[in-house]
Structure 1
Amino acid sequence: MSLYSCFFSSNNRYSSSRYTYTGYGNGSGNRSSRRRFGFARSSVTSYDDNTYFYGRNRRRPHYWERERERRNNLNRNRNNRRNRRRSPSPETPPSRPPKPVIPKEELAKELHCKDVDLHIETNTKKHRTDDYDCTKKRKVNGKVEEAELVVRRGDSIKMTLTFDRPYSKEKNDLKLCFSLGENPLPSKGTKNVFEIDESGKKSFKSHEWGATLVDKKGNDATLLISIPANCIIGEWNFYVVTVSEGKDKQGNPQKITKNFEIEDDVIILFNPWCKDDECYMKDEAALDEYILNDIGGVWRGNAYQYSPKHWNFGQFEEGILDAALQLIRLGFNSKLRPMSDPVKVSRMVAKMVNASDDNGILVGNWSGDYADGKSPTSWVGSVKIIQQWQKSGPVKYGQCWVFSCVTTTICRALGLPCRTVTNFSSAHDSDQSNCIEKYFMKQNGADEPINYDGSSDSVWNFHVWNEVWMARNDLFDFTDPGWQVIDATPQETSEGVYTCGPCPVTAIRKGMCRTNYDCGFIFSEVNADEIHWRVLPDGSLERLKFDKKKIGKYISTKKPDGGCVGYGNSDRFDLTLDYKPPEGSAEERETVMNAHNTAFQRKPFAYAEKENEKAVKFQLTHNDNCMIGGKMVIEVKAKNESNVERDLKYVGIFVAPTSYTGARGDTFFKKYFGKSSLKPGEEKVFKSLLDPEDYLDKLVEQASVSIVAVGKVARKGNLYTAEKMKKEHQVRFRRPDIKVECPKEAHVGDNVKFVISFDNPLEKALTCCSVSMESVGFTDFDDAPEVDVPPKTTYRREFTMPAVKAKKNAAVNFSFECKEIPDISGTATIRIVS
């Protein structure tokens, strides 16, 4: 057998059957001779004259190989759906014969690495990454997957190298290499080669790679490898590089480089525990919530009624970290350098969680028609959404809280401290005026809303975004670490794409609306003034209403206690004063004027007039805790606070369905009250009753209605002036909660019984029913169709699920969907011990 065939035959490999020597490469790290699942064994298509790779075949393909395969699968699925003929595969170019290699006798004289122990258990515990499923040996799709090393930048990791003889620095030229991507280059920060310090005295700078020898026994050398605090996050290849003397084809001396590559990559993430990382958070207890907690909730409702929806973030579940890294690589179009910067990464996450500009995760839908997908209210966690995206592309459908919760999962998986934030009475400023304007025209004796000059400003019952913790070294005024707002819900474009932020919360509070990124838009969401204009016949504007306090209420997140959110509001953590000074204070008005003066579309006449004082105080009250299917009492109180008698020309109550985005349907309930008078100091109450028959078939999702009370007051006497009064509230009917019964504790491997139940409050059956669930610690089931639930009966169902993972608080979230009352949900937590 020739020397050529000795080293490149598929049946004869150097040292043992576990190892492969391949003489290839183009000097830049291209591995074009590798096949799909390992090194090429019988042919080489490109090579460097003096570079060799050896080691075990990879257990899984490189990430770029996996992503190519995923793109091919998605394209095949699309082509199959469209009934297209597939183009014939191009011919495989003939392989280039490999050059003869160095004789085995010469290779045997040099130092070679035989194995690398990554000390996965020790390193992941130190780096607080041991919760990731991929760091443990596990079974995936019936196959046993070996553990992977996941660590955080700005810290050191322990490795033990095993050689075929004792290592000596004097006798052996040995280096280590970390490379990232398909074409790694030192100039791009994606290839780092460094020597081992044996003195034990060298301390490495926070922004440099390095390795120190800490122990040497026989053929083993144990190292501490320092990872820079500013390195690119991602899946890094690790090589042990040995350099020896050799000869070229002409017999001239040359250096021969041999790289021993480990079987899996080393995954490096952001490190909020490291002072030199830009996302460093001093409060380590808070990181138990914002990085390590994989369960929680998101607040929804309106400014009068709000409650949490339980959510499984699941950032440590199988495949989620892989998907998170894949997502931002897709967003950056495989440009890796930006992946070292939390500002750019968080902005890219906000862009890629929605699918508006690319193949991001979620498609938004606020139409109420979800026939070709899944209703946003039916999701109870991020894991199924992200896993579905990896298999088949953009997932249908999401709304703001779904976008936000998926964003929390992605950020926490990458190591960015993140929380989900809800703003009630949240404004949407469409024209960059930093105020919310609505226009009316007098028609048939009444001011009716009109679309004026293309304005589409609106006020949502609630809107949900995210805060990510980091320093802003790109901003002169806000370099200190702090919370930054990002928003993945596709509302308005930012720099031409649907993304928003990051923007410092402190900049929003000060009304510094030219701060990057999107400060003006976010300021308007929390602290804009709402102004109503009447459009006069000559086109000029007359101000009808000026409301300083309507926008931005009860800005909420989960209390940072590291646990699960409860059913009530005791777990709500109020952030309102982080976003704006106390409502009505001099500081708050100064902030609003700062925003007004820095608006891109400034309206200088908006604040010119003084607000008219009302002589009659108008108050609207109702039952804020009315169960759907029940009766709601609505009251309007009118009190004369002047010293002159007033005439009430009329009082009216109107009710219409509304979506949480502020879109209003047709009025389905009207009640008028006739003339009356109010003496000085007198108060009168006008009461009406809203029956289930009035509203049940008119409601849209979220079961919200707009209740509007209007009135007209005139002053008695020779001078007869009239003023109009209006109050509007958004009211959400309460839905039943799912009660979940289960044991308090179980062991891994146990089949645990869960019983879920709730009462149907309606006088009619619940139809088109289905149950879904998502959990941490159990094997989830797919969405299950259910039979109709009869009127005024109790729905009850038992499920048995195996416990598969030890968890201190394993949350199990259930969602029940039906045509009549969507979004019925409930949760339970159970301790799972090994």
Structure 2
Amino acid sequence: MTIAVKVPLCAIVGRYQLFLKMLNDAGIGKKEPIGFFYVLFNPWVQGDEVFLPTEEEREEYVLNDTGLILYGHEQIRNSRPWDFGQFEEDILDITLYLLDQSLDLKRDPDGELLKRSGALHVSRTLCAMVNHHNENTVFVGSWIGGFINSVVPSRWNGSVQVLRSWRQNGPVPFGQCWVSAGVLCTMLRCLGIPTRLVTIFDAARRTDAQFYSTRFFFENGIFTTQWFPSVWNFHTLIEVWIRRKELNRLNSDWQVLDTDSGDSSRVINRLGPASLRAIRDGDVELDYDTAFLFAELNCQICEQIDLSKRNAYTNIHSAGQFVGTKALGALAIVDVTDAHKYPEGTQNARDILTKARNTMLRKPSLMSSSRDLVKNPSIRVPKPDFTGSFEQGQPSRVGEDVDTTLSLKNTNDEAKVIQVNLAVYTMAYTKIPLKEIVKESLSISLGPDEEKKIPYTIKYSQYRNGISNDNLIQFVAVCFDNKEGSLLTHSVATLLNPPLLIKVCGNPIFNVPLPVEILFSNPLEEDVANCHLVVEGSGLLRKPVALCLPIVKSKQTSVTKVNLLPYRAGPRILLANFNSDKFHDIKAYQEITIPPLHIN
């Protein structure tokens, strides 16, 4: 007997129990449970609010269980795969259980359940449940270290282990923006909502109500930590494809969510979903949290010296210098900046910013928690008659010296002396300074129209104990001439990890052990100790393989053998993470295609 259950588009998503009642001739019968079924959103049905028009998009934004995490900074952008694992056997149940723990449900139990027929409400609810500012959420957040006896955020390779750990033990230490965004993407895809990860480079995290954000430096070039950094090297959001009936047709496509609002004053912390088109067009009065998300992409970034005691010239530029996401059907970055904002310097960009600022003057409560982080932003330091900039060479690997060049040019026909306050320090991706490497002053004489290039080398021994998992070194120069001219310039060097290699040692066959080798070569003149390797991948390993490895001697190669057991056909991604006392979270991945099982 075949039983067909027809589900209306307005049905509440969730797990249902199915009963069968068979009646005798007298009309008497007993109801018996015969099983369970799930109701999800359906992007293949044209009437559904999450309907996507093309199969290629549905394959990518719903069915693909591998994504890309983008990281780095605006000049050098990198990516690595992320295992969403939305089809793993317990992920849907964990997602629905998480919905049942939501803060919305506690506040309004009956009303919240009825709202679960809407993708907008479900995505907004789950966004709050991965925001570390809220109670009983998936993550404990940390951006300033303190990861002892916990998982460093950069160590995660996917969402499955995070969600399982939360289900067993409660909030998971630790997560940061790309981890929480990846986990939220997993949950929304498993519910049938088309979702993608999007990364903003030079993302504004604190602004005032007129969309200004300031970074403060001391006169010696060191970035001050008096305020949490207002601009991050990158920040990861997610976008969901939802038709919003309350908005016009143009605003009913991608909706933006931020899993880290950074605003602990809210009753429930979350940002979005806000219409992507509304963000681009400066319609900051539209729900939800459009003003905050507009600011992350469009605010004007200012830089100030020593909290206004003495200032220096620097360019004001907008946030969101690059916005990227994963390409359809490929492990590649695609530029989607133009879909999020108008090109910097164009009349459209200026008009949109003016429009948004005028709206904020009329409705300042749209960003009630914003702070006055800019002192007289319209007062600009005059441009000096000399220029300065750092020139970075080819990226160095961890363990190598780092070379940079400070280029100074006198654009005047009179000689001058430039005092350079140089600072070099390791840095987190949030631009928090970690360990000071160099702080010194130089005096450079320049003849009329003369240019000088001052090379500078940072030895491995200078940064080896201060480099973080982000592998970033910040160079800052605060320059003053003898005629009140001033300039601030800075640059970031991104260090590369040595390669981690994956070698497949057999032919992939469904449900047949497949040996692989993980190879790490130590390039240093010293041993590498405290070595740990984690290998995982949905469809290839049901649980991660975590191994403690022996010391890797100088210039030697470690080879680790792992047996996979493929249990899902199709293209799969194997991920590996190597960590040690000298190298942090070296990543590797290998694409493996598992042929389908043929039954005779």
TM-score by length of 1: 0.65
Asked if the contact 1:279–1:481 (Cα under 8 Å) also holds between the matched residues in 2, the reply is no
Q: Does 1:628 align with 2:398?
A: yes
> What's the CA shift for 1:552?
1.5
| 1:274-285 correspondence runs (5 A) | 274-285=45-56
Q: Does 1:689 align with 2:466?
A: no
Q: Which residue of 1 aligns with 2:558?
A: 795
Deviates more, 1:455-464 or 1:815-824: 455-464
| Cα deviations by residue, 1:598-619 (Å, 9 ceiling, x for unpaired) | 3436979855446733422222
- Among 617, 642, 658, the alignment partner of 2:387 is 617
| 1:296-307 correspondence runs (5 A) | 296-307=67-78
| Cα deviations by residue, 1:759-794 (Å, 9 ceiling, x for unpaired) | 223332222221112212223344221222222322
Q: Which residue of 1 aligns with 2:367?
A: none
Asked if the contact 1:494–1:500 (Cα under 8 Å) also holds between the matched residues in 2, the reply is no
Partner Cα distance (1:259, 1:468) in 2: 44
Partner Cα distance (1:683, 1:507) in 2: 46
Q: Which residue of 2 aligns with 1:70?
A: none
Partner Cα distance (1:356, 1:531) in 2: 28
Q: Which residue of 1 aligns with 2:275?
A: 504
AA partner of residue 828 (structure 1): Q
In structure 2, relative to structure 1, the CA distance for the partners of 1:406 and 1:260 (3 Å cut) is same
Deviates more, 1:626-635 or 1:385-394: 385-394
In structure 2, relative to structure 1, the CA distance for the partners of 1:736 and 1:545 (3 Å cut) is same
| 1:730-769 correspondence runs (5 A) | 730-743=492-505, 745-769=507-531
Partner Cα distance (1:602, 1:352) in 2: 26
Q: Which residue of 2 aligns with 1:773?
A: 535
Q: Which residue of 1 aligns with 2:233?
A: 461
| 1:196-595 correspondence runs (5 A) | 225-240=5-20, 258=29, 260-331=31-102, 332-333=104-105, 335-429=112-206, 432-438=209-215, 456-475=228-247, 477=248, 480-489=251-260, 491-493=262-264, 495-532=266-303, 547-549=315-317, 551-561=319-329, 563=330, 565=331, 571-595=332-356
Asked if the contact 1:763–1:792 (Cα under 8 Å) also holds between the matched residues in 2, the reply is yes
Asked if the contact 1:528–1:548 (Cα under 8 Å) also holds between the matched residues in 2, the reply is no
Asked if the contact 2:193–2:240 (Cα under 8 Å) also holds between the matched residues in 1, the reply is yes
Structural RMSD (CA): 2.8
- Among 453, 459, 468, the alignment partner of 1:700 is 468
> What's the CA shift for 1:535?
8.4
SS at match of 1:665: strand
AA partner of residue 582 (structure 2): E
Asked if the contact 1:298–1:310 (Cα under 8 Å) also holds between the matched residues in 2, the reply is yes
SS at match of 1:799: strand
Partner Cα distance (1:360, 1:271) in 2: 27
Partner Cα distance (1:662, 1:447) in 2: 14
Partner Cα distance (2:492, 2:357) in 1: 27
Q: Which residue of 2 aligns with 1:677?
A: 446
Asked if the contact 2:18–2:34 (Cα under 8 Å) also holds between the matched residues in 1, the reply is no
AA partner of residue 694 (structure 1): Q
Asked if the contact 2:421–2:439 (Cα under 8 Å) also holds between the matched residues in 1, the reply is yes
| Cα deviations by residue, 1:798-831 (Å, 9 ceiling, x for unpaired) | 11122222x2211111111223211111011212
Q: Does 1:783 align with 2:563?
A: no
Unaligned 5+ residue runs, structure 2? 365-369
| 1:81-100 correspondence runs (5 A) | none
> What's the CA shift for 1:269?
0.5
> What's the CA shift for 1:511?
2.4
> What's the CA shift for 1:670?
3.6
Asked if the contact 2:312–2:381 (Cα under 8 Å) also holds between the matched residues in 1, the reply is no
| Cα deviations by residue, 1:204-237 (Å, 9 ceiling, x for unpaired) | xxxxxxxxxxxxxxxxxxxxx4321222111123
Partner Cα distance (1:744, 1:511) in 2: 55
Asked if the contact 2:536–2:545 (Cα under 8 Å) also holds between the matched residues in 1, the reply is no
Report 1 or 2 for greater relative contact order, CA contacts < 8 Å, sequence distance ≥ 6: 2
- Among 637, 644, 649, the alignment partner of 2:418 is 649
Partner Cα distance (2:263, 2:176) in 1: 15
Partner Cα distance (1:309, 1:689) in 2: 29
Asked if the contact 2:196–2:325 (Cα under 8 Å) also holds between the matched residues in 1, the reply is yes
Partner Cα distance (1:587, 1:646) in 2: 42
SS at match of 1:291: helix
| Cα deviations by residue, 1:506-548 (Å, 9 ceiling, x for unpaired) | 1221223232222222222222112245789xxx999755643
Q: Which residue of 1 aligns with 2:574?
A: 812
Partner Cα distance (1:472, 1:329) in 2: 24
Asked if the contact 1:706–1:729 (Cα under 8 Å) also holds between the matched residues in 2, the reply is yes
Larger Rg over CA atoms: 1
Partner Cα distance (1:678, 1:299) in 2: 44
| Cα deviations by residue, 1:582-628 (Å, 9 ceiling, x for unpaired) | 11111112222233333436979855446733422222111351101
AA partner of residue 236 (structure 1): Y
In structure 2, relative to structure 1, the CA distance for the partners of 1:337 and 1:400 (3 Å cut) is same
Q: Which residue of 2 aligns with 1:137?
A: none
Deviates more, 1:591-600 or 1:384-393: 591-600
AA partner of residue 271 (structure 2): C
Partner Cα distance (2:500, 2:384) in 1: 46
Unaligned 5+ residue runs, structure 1? 1-115, 119-158, 160-224, 247-255, 566-570, 715-720
> What's the CA shift for 1:558?
0.8
Q: Which residue of 2 aligns with 1:141?
A: none
In structure 2, relative to structure 1, the CA distance for the partners of 1:550 and 1:430 (3 Å cut) is closer
In structure 2, relative to structure 1, the CA distance for the partners of 1:318 and 1:757 (3 Å cut) is same
SS at match of 1:679: coil
Partner Cα distance (1:555, 1:528) in 2: 15
Asked if the contact 2:475–2:490 (Cα under 8 Å) also holds between the matched residues in 1, the reply is yes
